[in-house]
Every structure is written in structure tokens, then in C-alpha cells.
């Protein structure tokens, strides 16, 4: 029997890292929906399209083809953008793209299609509320914005990317605001989600907590 795990939460709350670990440990397919919004943002920036110009962004949709591979690579129209979609320019603009209803409808179709007959763990902002409201397990991850900014800062340093702590903090605050105040499918916990505060937890501790939640929901112990 296939099942779905939906993990939602604000930027840098650890969703993708945890979703990846869970997927590897439990043999699930991981779908990082944020990467899809980022890929469209990347393409707009590359084409010189203003990410707040809704008609221009929408005009691009019919020619967009996004692929996520099992080894976590992201392609848009055949171009490998796995690294490029993590740039600060993309991070600064992605919330504008994600607030466009037509972009969301386009990606939600794709996201639902990707889950067919598979056991998956999908992370994003609206998975439990909108994309997969029937998901068996819904986890909403939170952490203080300062902790999230520090995590992102350390991750950037490790990857050799630029960006200082204050800039990252202000970008996260801006994205939190836009993501949770947009009209269509805003960031919010589903009523039947379990809230997990990861502020003071290590990655293995969060993975263990998630496995416990999944075991309880499925009514059987998982490794």
C-alpha cells in the first residue's frame, strides 16, 4: 500500500533535509516542491523577466518542462539547475513567483501527477492543505527565524556560497511574510497536521521524531 508524507513549514525549517533523510531511510521518493518554484524563478531571471510581472511570467508556463530526478537533481527545459536555483538572486525572487496563482496551479498538477502509485515524502508550504489534503501523514515544521537563518548561513558557508547572516535573516523574514500572506494556498498548518518545533533539535533528532509520528499514524513500527 502506498502512502504520502507531507512536510510543510517556513523557509529553512529543515524540511528538505529531513524529507531527504526520511526518503533514503524508508525507501520513499522525495519531491522537493520548493525546487520547482525556484526553477521557474531561475528561468525568469535568465530570460530577463521581472518576477513580479504576472502576465510575462504566465506567458512562459506553456514552454516549461521541469524534471526532478531520484538523485535529487533539478532540470528545467533540459538544463541542470540543481546548484543555480540556490543562488541568493533566486531566493530573493522566488516568493513573488510562488504567489502567482497560475504558476501554482501549473506546478500542483505536476506535483500530484508525480505521486501516482508511489509512496512519497513531499515538502513545501501547501502540501498538507492543498496539494495532497488526503496525505496520511502531515508534519508542519517550525523553528525560530534566527535559528533558521543561522542554519542557512552555515549551510551556505559549507557549500562555498556567499551571503551574510543579516541578509539571510532579512530574506527569510520577507519570504515568511509573503508566503503566509498570499491569497492562494498560503503557508499554514493543515488542521490535521502535527507541529514539530525543530529549533533545539539536531537533524537525527528531527528524523527520529518524524519516524515516531509516521509509525504512530501508520500503526506500525518503521525502521
Binding stretches for ligand DC (CB under 6 A)? 11, 33-34, 37-38, 94-95, 98, 124-126, 175, 179
Give 110 or 213: the residue with its C-beta nearer to ligand DC: 110
Query: CB of residue 126 vs ligand DC: minimum separation in angstroms?
Result: 5
By the 8 A CB rule, do 179 and 10 touch? yes
Give 27 or 190: the residue with its C-beta nearer to ligand DC: 190
Give 128 or 214: the residue with its C-beta nearer to ligand DC: 128
Query: CB of residue 173 vs ligand DC: minimum separation in angstroms?
Result: 12
What pairs with residue 7 in β-bridges? 123, 139
Query: CB of residue 68 vs ligand DC: minimum separation in angstroms?
Result: 12
Query: CB of residue 75 vs ligand DC: minimum separation in angstroms?
Result: 16
Distance CA 46, CA 93 (A): 12
Give 34 or 163: the residue with its C-beta nearer to ligand DC: 34
Residue where the block lists cell 513580479: 52
Amino acid at each position: 500500500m502506498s502512502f504520502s508524507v507531507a512536510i510543510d513549514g517556513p523557509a529553512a525549517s529543515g524540511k528538505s533535509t529531513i524529507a531527504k533523510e526520511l526518503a533514503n531511510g524508508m525507501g520513499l521518493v522525495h519531491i522537493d516542491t520548493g525546487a520547482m518554484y525556484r526553477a521557474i524563478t531561475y528561468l525568469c531571471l535568465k530570460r530577463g523577466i521581472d518576477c513580479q510581472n504576472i502576465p510575462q511570467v504566465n506567458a512562459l508556463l506553456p514552454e516549461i518542462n521541469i524534471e526532478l530526478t531520484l538523485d535529487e537533481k533539478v532540470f528545467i527545459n533540459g538544463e541542470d539547475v540543481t546548484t543555480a536555483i540556490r543562488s541568493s538572486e533566486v531566493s530573493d525572487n522566488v516568493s513573488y513567483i510562488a504567489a502567482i496563482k497560475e504558476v501554482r496551479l501549473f506546478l500542483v498538477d505536476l506535483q500530484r501527477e508525480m505521486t501516482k502509485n508511489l509512496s512519497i515524502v513531499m515538502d513545501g508550504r501547501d502540501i498538507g492543505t492543498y496539494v495532497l489534503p488526503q496525505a496520511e501523514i502531515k508534519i508542519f515544521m517550525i523553528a525560530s527565524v534566527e535559528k533558521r537563518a543561522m542554519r542557512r548561513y552555515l549551510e551556505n558557508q559549507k557549500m562555498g556560497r556567499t551571503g551574510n547572516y543579516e541578509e539571510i535573516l532579512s530574506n527569510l523574514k520577507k519570504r515568511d511574510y509573503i508566503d503566509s500572506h498570499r491569497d492562494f494556498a498560503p503557508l499554514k498548518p493543515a488542521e490535521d497536521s502535527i507541529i514539530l518545533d525543530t529549533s533545539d533539535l539536531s537533524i537525527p533528532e528531527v528524523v527520529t521524531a518524524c519516524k515516531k509520528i509516521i509509525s504512530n499514524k501508520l500503526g506500525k513500527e518503521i525502521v
